[in-house]
Structure formats: C-alpha cells, structure tokens
Amino acid sequence: MQVVDHVVVGGGVMGSAAAWQLAARGRDVLLLERFSPGHVRGASHGASRIYRTTYDRPEYVDLAVEALTLWRSLDDPSVLTLTGGVSHGVRHEGVAAFFVARGVPHEWLTPAAAAERWPGLRFEGSVLHETATAGRLHADRAVAALQASAASHGADVRHDVQVLRVVAGSSGVVLETTLGDVRARSVVVAVGAWTAGLVGPSLGLDLGPSLVVTQEQPAHFAVLPGAPDEGAWPSFTHQPVGLHPWPSGTYGLATPGEGIKVGFHGVGPVTDPDHRSFLPEPSQLADLQRYAELWLPGVDPTVPAPISCTYTTTPDSDFVLDRRGPVVVAAGFSGHGFKFAPAIGRVLADLASEPADSAPRAAHPAFALARLAGARGHLPTGSSRRPPDEQPTDPRPDAGLDAHPAPAAVGTSPTRTVPQENR
C-alpha cells in the first residue's frame, strides 16, 4: 500500500491549487484525478473565467485579494489578463462601500458613458467599473499551471485514477482507488459535482439535497464586423432592474479566439454528473440569443457556440471549506469559485495541516459544512463551530455575482433558479 502525507482527490482548479500549496510547504502530496488532462466533464475547463473583487463580504474580498497575488505568482503569466470589469443594472451600494473601504480602484458611469466606452454592450441603471482588479482567467492554463507548480515542488500528479472510497480512521485515511489502496495522514476531497457521492458515504452525511448539480450552458457569440475586437471588452455582469423576461441575470467576457461568452447563472437543469447530455436546453439557448440581440449590439446573436459545464450549488451559494477529522472537504462553489482558487488552495492546505483530532480553524465559519442540512448532528467532538442557524445571514447584492438578483425580481421562468447573488 502506498503511504503519503496528503492525498488530494480531484484535479480541477481547487484540488490542483491545494496540491500546489501543500507541495510548496515540502509535504509529500499525491494528487489523483479521475479523467485525463484537459477533460471537459467538470467545472474547470475552457479558456475563460471572470476574475474580480466585486463582493461585499470580507471573507470573499480577502480571498479574492489574496488570490490575485497568488495567480500572478504562477509561472504562466497568460493565466490572468486584467481587462477591467463592469456591473450594471441594480446598484450595489454594499460593493461600492467595500471598494472605498479597501481602496479598490473603481468609478461609476452612466449607461450612455459606458456605452460610448464599450459600444459592444448596452447598459442600464448604475454602471460600476472595477478599473484595475478585474479581468479574465484562462481556465485550462490555470489548472495546468497549478499542477505544474505542484509537480515542480515534488507532488505526484496522477490522471485517470478514480478514488472509489475514503475510509477515515483515528490515524489518518485509507483511500480505495482504481490503482490500489493508499494511506495518508489527511485527504483533501475537491471533487466538485461528485462530492455528495464520495464524501457523503465516507462521513456518513446526506449531502445530496444541499449540493445541487446543474448543467449550465453559456455560449460564445462572434463579434460583428466593425464592433470592438475581443481585446477591448471588459468582463461584465448585468442584474436587470425590475421585472424582466430572463431566467436570471447574466455574466460575460471575451474569450480570445472564441468570441464573447455570455451566460445565465445557475438556471441549468439538475443533472447527474455521470449521466449528462452535454447538450444545451433549447428554450434557454433561445433566451440567451434574444438577450444577446438586445443587450450585446456588438455580437452576432444568430450563431451561438454553446458550452456545457457543471455548477455545484449550496442553498446560500456560499462555499464549503471544512474538515472532519482527517478529511478536508472543498465543495459547493456555486458557479463563482474559480477566481479564488489559489487562495482556497491555501485554506485547504492549512486545514489539511491541522491535527485531525482538533476542531477545524483555518476556514471562515461562513464556509462550515455543518450549515448544510444533511451535515448537521455530525460535528466531530471538540468542534467549536456555531451551528448554522446562529450564523448571521447576509443577503449579498451583486457581490461576486456575474449574474442576477433574487428570483423574486426576475422573470417567471419555471426553470429551477438558484439564489444567485454571486458568481
């Protein structure tokens, strides 16, 4: 049986970041990924994700700021491109107050002034421009760079190895894998849409109801001749003012060589990650084309190139970053986790480095597993975490949202909508 200090299960952006952070501390790390490099079955593939600090809660702003430094420290400078970011529609005072308090460079624009600057987009309401700390992450390159950095610090990165079971014990964990058993002092489980199926049984938790997996379907649209080229587009979110016909607000950004990516947030059909169609839902795609026709005058709405990707969403859209004994859980990134990944990797490495019989301390209480219904009553002894119902609730406005307001204000789409103040 192979014996290592730490196993990380899942080679998406979160697991890769955790492996990097642990290996950089000189730990003996084994990263196990079920599929081949560059696979498209999870949530971390493709060439574009929005990076920005547009949140109004310190735990998210702190992670975003830390992540910016860590992204820049990677060997591949093409992973992060700062283009500026705009949020328009509903005005988010909370975010602006945070920008002022934290000295995040920004400006407010009128829709007309914004449209003059970015004629490919149409604007409404208030336009908040994050001028210097927003942009685009190249998802595939980010995952590859994190794994390369982990390997350069000695981590053993393995693809095409599936972890079948995680058995936690008093002296660590044993993992049953398709390559045989592995024993480790601790394990970080960052398996995205597969979390309920792998973590639930090993911790005796029923996580399915609290970790909802959906198949999301943004699309790329070609830039029209005469419109600003891809390099001149900011990342953008639109939280429509008042009632509107869309299933949710929208987010988008340019993907060099592929056009302008636009998507609704968290409104895809609920799916089983092992039995997905990878096909867009036609009525939602038609909605997206109509949205592009009305709000993106710089693109051709007639020929969308759909993308398929999974969200794993918690009831409050907050992440799960927690530990039970030797098992660290990273899940529920609810469609807005990518930007934070290297900082989340640092939190996961801290959690994995704590004594297994101690109460978890390294993650913010807002990310506690115990707040999820199926996870109650299983707190390990000595845990000082407050039960979730004593947690302060905080309706987030557009913080972190590359998409849309509370469902009440949006259209009446019957599609299942995820509370989506964040992205």
Ligand X SMILES: Cc1cc2nc3c(=O)[nH]c(=O)nc-3n(C[C@H](O)[C@H](O)[C@H](O)COP(=O)(O)OP(=O)(O)OC[C@H]3O[C@@H](n4cnc5c(N)ncnc54)[C@H](O)[C@@H]3O)c2cc1C
Residues that bind ligand X (CB under 6 A): 9-15, 32-35, 41-44, 49-50, 162-163, 190-194, 198, 216, 218, 263, 309-311, 333, 335-339, 402
Nearest residue to ligand X on Cβ basis? 12
Minimum separation from the CB atom of position 336 to ligand X (A): 5
Q: Which is nearer to ligand X, 11 or 387 (CB)?
A: 11
- Residue 158: closest CA among 333, 17, 37: 37
Q: Which is nearer to ligand X, 218 or 247 (CB)?
A: 218
Minimum separation from the CB atom of position 42 to ligand X (A): 3
Minimum separation from the CB atom of position 63 to ligand X (A): 11
Q: Which is nearer to ligand X, 40 or 112 (CB)?
A: 40
Minimum separation from the CB atom of position 46 to ligand X (A): 8
> From residue 403, how far is each of 157, 276, 279, 372 by CA, in Å?
34, 24, 22, 23
Q: Which is nearer to ligand X, 276 or 359 (CB)?
A: 276
What distance, in Å, lies between the first and last C-alpha atoms of the chain? 41
Q: Which is nearer to ligand X, 65 or 113 (CB)?
A: 65
Q: Which is nearer to ligand X, 275 or 377 (CB)?
A: 275
Minimum separation from the CB atom of position 390 to ligand X (A): 27
Q: Which is nearer to ligand X, 15 or 419 (CB)?
A: 15
Minimum separation from the CB atom of position 14 to ligand X (A): 4
- Residue 30: closest CA among 163, 169, 211: 163
Minimum separation from the CB atom of position 123 to ligand X (A): 19
Cβ partners under 8 Å of residue 209, min gap 6? 373, 374
Region at 96 (left for phi over 0; alpha for psi -120 to 50; beta for the rest): alpha
The answer to whether the CB of 5 falls within 8 A of the CB of 184 is yes
Minimum separation from the CB atom of position 400 to ligand X (A): 8
Question: Which two three-digit tokens encode residue 365?
Answer: 């209480």
Q: What residue ranges in 42-197 does DSSP mark as E strands?
A: 49-51, 80-82, 85-89, 106-109, 126-130, 135-137, 156-158, 163-169, 172-177, 180-189
Classify burial at 206, counting beta carbons within 10 Å of its beta carbon; exposed 0-12, middle 13-18, buried 19 or more: middle
Distance CA 128, CA 233 (A): 15
Q: Which is nearer to ligand X, 291 or 380 (CB)?
A: 291
Question: Which two three-digit tokens encode residue 346?
Answer: 């640092």
Phi and psi at 349, nearest 5°, equal -65, -40
Minimum separation from the CB atom of position 387 to ligand X (A): 25
Q: Which is nearer to ligand X, 50 or 222 (CB)?
A: 50
- Residue 50: closest CA among 218, 214, 202: 218
Classify burial at 345, counting beta carbons within 10 Å of its beta carbon; exposed 0-12, middle 13-18, buried 19 or more: buried
